[in-house]
Structure 1
Amino acid sequence: MKSLIHISLAIALIGLLGQPARAALPDDVTRALRAGNIPESAVSLWVGAPDGGKPLWAHRSDTPRNPASVMKLLTSLASLELLGPAWTWKTDVLTRGTLSAGVLEGDLILRGGGDPFLTWDRLGGLLRDVRSRGVREIHGDILLDRSLFALPPHDPAAFDGRAVRAYNAAPDALAVNFNAITLRISPRADGGVDAVPTLPFAGLQVENSLRAQAGDGCPSWRDLVAPEITAKGESVNVRLPGRFPTACGEKMLNLAAPDPVLMANGVIRAIWQELGGRFTGHVRSATTPADASLLTSWQSPPLADALRETDKYSNNLMARQIFLSLALLDGAAPATPEAAATRLRAWMPTRGLDPQQWVIENGSGLSRQERSTAAQLGTLLRAAWMSPRMPEFMAAQPIIGIDGTMKKRLPGTAVAGRGYVKTGTLDGVKSAAGYLLDARGRWIAFAWLINHPNADAGDAALEALLTRLYAAE
């Protein structure tokens, strides 16, 4: 009986795939778009079986559009296949001078390897290792060798004018804690609002003037808090002049540090002091001196682990670091965005992708220039499905109603837990792409792109699409 059922399902699916692709959008999706004042001409959709065949839906699927963070899918698959899931990044610590009785008469050098996941606690583990190797006092400077990446000047306000937002933080060969400072914002019982740093940072000053805002909803609280961040010498000042809705409960506010060196300086000084170390010099950017000697090295988590953080939570800095790492293949250095894009484009035809249909800037989707089509994203999803790296690729994507950027989408419904979907959001852009297991037990791949001023109203249409695909009608 089970065999007959399987045969019947297979015949039904073959029959469905043999039909011409439907250009019209599903009716419930169309109704949701109309409710959001989004014209169908601003939408692209591609739906098909992940292992091949004709698409089931192809609505404006060859129209180039901005994919926002769905672009991370390209970077993810390319890195898994080119670098490998076990690829790690190495941060070296070297000394210059003499070390005797716990005193380094000279400089300590941290040579960045492009680690996208060098959080403050992992940096603390590295500095603890340095202490265990006999370094107690540093009578010199701490040098930060950031030369592995050759990047153009970074203006954090250039993208959208929101320089303090963590997604605008600069990539760097020695990026500490995603180049972001985190504050825990929470209302107090007496009506006040606390703002407490969650990472050690020497020279960090928080001017908290937040006022509690009563009400039932939790609106755009980051905008209401209105954070400002400035640097003076080796100190960073965070000013919070706005309001915080008490209904939001406890929130984490991530703020882009003004400069990667300033970020590293604050964290290194604080942790070194916590470890009982002494240091009176400066933290500055410099290349590794020729006469420096290796003291120890720190390995990052493997790429497969880093991608789960990158894609599930759409971490732009991590995606850009991974993208740049493509340029490091075969020992080439320094890495540049142009070299990374060249390496990516050379790989794309091997997976059936047409480089001419992609505009690549930084591989993260935080871009006004990056472009692709729904059909090309469908080809990418099919290439990933047939890749030996499919398990790692899929495991990195948010699960519908369960985690990451999909945690609040359709929780508690029949669709929850049955799909791996990467989402993207920019002003004027809503996108999603991934895989869904439908009610008949068949995997479906899809790509969905909206480029329109009213794109923010497109969430209901995406949920309608996922529900429709699950129903397998």
Structure 2
Amino acid sequence: MSRDLGAARISDPTDDHYRRPLPMEPMLSEHTSTRRSSPRTAGRLLQAKAKTLGRTLGRTLGLSLGLACLLVVPWAAPSANSALPATVNSELAAQKLDANHLGLWVQAVDSDTPLINHQGERLFNPASVMKLVTTVAALDVLGPTFKWKTEFLADSMPVNGVIKGDLYIKGYGDPWFRSEDLWDVVRRLRELGVKEIRGDVVLDDSYFAPIAADPGDFDNRPDRVYNALPNALLLDNRAVRISITPHGEDESAVTTWPPNPRMALDNSLKLVNQPCRNSTNQPVIDIRNPTDPGAEIQVRGTVSRQCAPHLYYRVAGDPHDAFFHAFKQLFESAGGTITGHWREGLVQAGSTRLLSHDSRPLSNYLWLMNKWSNNVMARQIMLTMGAELEGTPATELKAARVIERWATDRGLNWDGAVVENGSGLSRISRLSPRQLGNMLLSVWKSPYMPEVMATLPIAGIDGTMRKRLTSGSIRGHAHIKTGTLRDVRAGAGFLLAKSGRRYVVVMLHNEQGVQYGGGTRVQDALLTWLYENG
């Protein structure tokens, strides 16, 4: 992860499927670390993580026994792979990958038996394919039209445009509350005649319990947007937008949003009058002490004045600082005044609600989450299920219990499954190809099948599949959720064969180095074979 990626490339450097977010909409993508750990180090990390999760998730989904077996008992995989298509075996050999580390489940939606069942019962790390579980469960539990609210309240109604007490902002877990939404709230406050807040701005994020985790736990990169932690009051996916405009009036060329006076910007960027090429456009962005309120953003390297503006996203500083200062600047730019500062707290009894902002429906958010593999959105959605069904404040344990009951209600055999946080950004998450395959078969027969299908990246067209299978008639015929971690390459979804028959496809591959392109080629070989022969 040594190079910086722009707004169009907030993605894993070893994953060739770059995400293109909308302006002001940083995406949290699936992740693969290029670092390699020794077996001893990796073992200690996995065991320590398992010990922590055992205390919180061990009482649900049969995790304690399943995880203990997974960590202690080696898998005795069958050596024969004669059931695999010849083209898949050939690609495995060409990529020097082992079929014993690959799990496949392929079944026609109108069939009672799988066409391919290769290690279908074995538990694999599914990486971001885990988001399919979050997707289907959320549609069943919350419903496709579910909306999140963000409330704005005050100690008393404004008098002559003045709120003499505190203003409260209470979040309910909106996974995609953006600066544009905050601007709309400011506009509505001004329409109510509010022009001055003489008290503090109190930020209430008590809908979720605090997440007892370090954003750097996964790969020691706490500044990366894919590692952003959930919060009930979240702005712009918790990311700081860093704008480099090399041909603007300001020689510094670097600005950040949200504005945060507690964070420093060290701009050592050198502007050069040369054509815009890779050799001249090499900005480097480092974040010092990213989890501290006083984090420092360091920008160095070279940028050509002839290059177009670029946007970069990092996680830095305190999320409450970011929310407050964004709100304050927008409110003051609209002619308002805030006398106090911000503090964490609870909405006081008897407070008057001024307005409530409603999010877009869940089905819209699932589209964003799956097309671009947004981790923090998945975590927010899973926690919301816990809060809505198990009560507030939401915890991962409550959310896991909801998933357990949901799987039982759907008639799924979820033995040994490890869901953890619902995003797939996990070293211990586990699912089998059969479990995912049966879930997708049940989706095909469910009333929410169109909603699920619409969220999946389309081969050769969009999302994380847009650069795969771009040529030939298979283009557009596979809807596949992808997943990538170090030593994990995964994919699952639906494929419409040339024959007109629809198939469920699950591909889980856990092998050293599989994320460096070889695993993708094996998957594409299977999808191509199935399209031609299914």
Q: TM-score, normalised by structure 1?
A: 0.87
User: Matches of residues 38-117 of structure 1 in structure 2 within 5 Å?
Assistant: 38-97=97-156, 99-117=158-176
Paired residue for 2:521?
460
Residues 23/250 of structure 1: CA separation in 2 closer, same or farther (3 Å cut): farther
1:95-133 CA-partner distances (Å, limit 9, x unpaired):
014521111111000011111110111122122212211
Aligned-pair distance for 1:398? 0.9
Tell me which of 505, 518, 523 is aligned to 1:446: 505
CA distance in 2, matches of 1:180, 1:356: 36
Paired residue for 1:374?
433
* RMSD (Å), alpha carbons: 3.0
Residues 100/232 of structure 1: CA separation in 2 closer, same or farther (3 Å cut): farther
SS in 1 for 2:479: strand
User: Matches of residues 243-392 of structure 1 in structure 2 within 5 Å?
Assistant: 251-330=310-389, 332-392=391-451
Residues 76/163 of structure 1: CA separation in 2 closer, same or farther (3 Å cut): same
Q: TM-score, normalised by structure 2?
A: 0.77
Residues 251/375 of structure 1: CA separation in 2 closer, same or farther (3 Å cut): farther
Q: In terms of mean alpha carbon deviation, does 327-336 or 51-60 score higher? A: 327-336
CA distance in 1, matches of 2:430, 2:389: 28
Unmatched segments (≥5 aa) in structure 2: 1-80
Paired residue for 1:10?
none
Paired residue for 2:532?
471
Q: Are 2:226 and 1:167 equivalent residues in the alignment?
A: yes
CA distance in 1, matches of 2:217, 2:533: 44
Residues 249/160 of structure 1: CA separation in 2 closer, same or farther (3 Å cut): farther
AA in 1 matched with 2:219: D
CA distance in 2, matches of 1:233, 1:278: 28
**More strand per residue:** 1
Residues 66/252 of structure 1: CA separation in 2 closer, same or farther (3 Å cut): farther
SS in 2 for 1:466: helix
Q: Are 2:465 and 1:431 equivalent residues in the alignment?
A: no
Paired residue for 1:201?
259
Residues 78/248 of structure 1: CA separation in 2 closer, same or farther (3 Å cut): farther
1:344-388 CA-partner distances (Å, limit 9, x unpaired):
101102223222231021011011111001111101111111110
SS in 1 for 2:335: coil
Aligned-pair distance for 1:38? 2.0
Aligned-pair distance for 1:413? 3.0
Aligned-pair distance for 1:404? 1.0
1:247-284 CA-partner distances (Å, limit 9, x unpaired):
99765422123332122123212222222211131122
Aligned-pair distance for 1:453? 1.9
C-alpha contact (below 8 Å) 2:155/2:351 kept by paired residues: yes
CA distance in 1, matches of 2:247, 2:90: 43
Aligned-pair distance for 1:35? 3.2
Residues 142/406 of structure 1: CA separation in 2 closer, same or farther (3 Å cut): same
Paired residue for 2:455?
396
User: Matches of residues 237-248 of structure 1 in structure 2 within 5 Å?
Assistant: 237-242=296-301
C-alpha contact (below 8 Å) 1:230/1:238 kept by paired residues: no
Aligned-pair distance for 1:211? 5.8
SS in 1 for 2:381: helix
Paired residue for 2:23?
none
CA distance in 2, matches of 1:211, 1:66: 43
Q: Name the count of aligned residue pairs.
A: 448
CA distance in 1, matches of 2:460, 2:88: 19
CA distance in 1, matches of 2:315, 2:471: 35
C-alpha contact (below 8 Å) 1:420/1:434 kept by paired residues: yes
Residues 248/54 of structure 1: CA separation in 2 closer, same or farther (3 Å cut): farther
Q: In terms of mean alpha carbon deviation, does 442-451 or 206-215 score higher? A: 206-215
C-alpha contact (below 8 Å) 1:149/1:336 kept by paired residues: yes
C-alpha contact (below 8 Å) 1:51/1:386 kept by paired residues: no
Residues 215/358 of structure 1: CA separation in 2 closer, same or farther (3 Å cut): farther
Paired residue for 1:12?
none
Aligned-pair distance for 1:202? 4.2
CA distance in 2, matches of 1:244, 1:63: 49
SS in 1 for 2:139: helix
AA in 1 matched with 2:165: G
AA in 2 matched with 1:395: A
C-alpha contact (below 8 Å) 1:48/1:57 kept by paired residues: yes
Residues 233/136 of structure 1: CA separation in 2 closer, same or farther (3 Å cut): farther
AA in 1 matched with 2:505: F
C-alpha contact (below 8 Å) 1:36/1:454 kept by paired residues: no
Residues 282/350 of structure 1: CA separation in 2 closer, same or farther (3 Å cut): same
CA distance in 1, matches of 2:146, 2:500: 34
C-alpha contact (below 8 Å) 1:141/1:281 kept by paired residues: yes
1:435-465 CA-partner distances (Å, limit 9, x unpaired):
1111111111101111122111312222222
Tell me which of 117, 120, 126 is aligned to 2:179: 120
CA distance in 2, matches of 1:284, 1:31: 61
Aligned-pair distance for 1:244? 7.0
C-alpha contact (below 8 Å) 2:418/2:429 kept by paired residues: yes
AA in 2 matched with 1:270: Q
AA in 1 matched with 2:524: E
Paired residue for 1:17?
none
CA distance in 1, matches of 2:390, 2:418: 26
SS in 2 for 1:99: coil
CA distance in 1, matches of 2:102, 2:166: 57
C-alpha contact (below 8 Å) 2:155/2:350 kept by paired residues: yes
AA in 1 matched with 2:533: A
SS in 2 for 1:356: coil
CA distance in 2, matches of 1:152, 1:260: 13
CA distance in 1, matches of 2:254, 2:306: 16
CA distance in 1, matches of 2:178, 2:404: 31
Aligned-pair distance for 1:324? 0.6
Q: In terms of mean alpha carbon deviation, does 274-283 or 105-114 score higher? A: 274-283
SS in 2 for 1:150: coil
Q: In terms of mean alpha carbon deviation, does 238-247 or 395-404 score higher? A: 238-247
SS in 1 for 2:158: strand
Residues 324/81 of structure 1: CA separation in 2 closer, same or farther (3 Å cut): same
User: Matches of residues 145-224 of structure 1 in structure 2 within 5 Å?
Assistant: 145-185=204-244, 194-197=253-256, 199-203=257-261, 205-210=264-269
CA distance in 1, matches of 2:533, 2:363: 32
